[in-house]
Amino acid sequence: MEENNHIYPIFDRMLMRKDKEDLLKQHSVMVWFTGLSGSGKSTIAIALERELHKRGLLCRILDGDNIRSGINNNLGFTEADRVENIRRIAEVSKLFLDTGVITIAAFISPNNDIREMAADIIGQDDFLEVYVSTPLEECERRDVKGLYAKARKGEIKNFTGISAPFEEPAHPALTLDTSVLSLEESVNKLLELILPRIQKK
């Protein structure tokens, strides 16, 4: 087998995650929102980021808008591309975590295998899965982007919840139903879960 002579590992000379966390005075963690389109994932993620920012904590949100317009702009919506989309997101998230940054991801990520892959890449101990369990009927009623109407007409193929399945997480760290909970209530539940993990003693 030919050796990769151009690769020179430098990890032993780089500053470690703990060095970055000490500088930022926080522990990094991955908060991974999963749920149907229109369930409220991005809305909650943005509100959570603002609350953590107010507390002097550095965060980074990853969602479809900033990922598919950049690093994943060459991917479509085939099954293989969806897996690769999540794989790249997980790898980028791991880099943020290793830099001490609290990372918040909001992606449909519709099945347990794809979320398990992300958790394995990021590290199970750092991965907090938050299931935004808002019912399909409510998500479709909101239809924020007009996607459900197009999916019902057959204009969008393999649309999660309509023509493609969504698997509920088996053991999420937290479940939030935005048809029942207000945005403030959802964020408060998240803060109860996250703050003990990210605040430096």
Annotated binding site for ATP: 35-42
Closest CA to 198 of 53, 61, 41, 25: 25
How do 30-34 and 59-63 pair as beta strands? unpaired
Q: Note whether 165 and 110 are within 8 A (CB).
A: yes
Catalytic-role residue among 28, 93, 109, 186: 109
How do 127-132 and 30-34 pair as beta strands? parallel
Binding residues: 35-42
Q: Which residue has the tokens 């879960």?
A: 193
Give yes or no: 109 in active site: yes
Exposure b/e, 74-88, CB count within 10 A at least 16 = b: ebeeeeeebeebbee
With left for phi above 0 and alpha for psi between -120 and 50, is residue 40 left, alpha or beta?
Answer: left
Q: What three-state secondary structure class fits 152? A: helix
Catalytic positions: 109
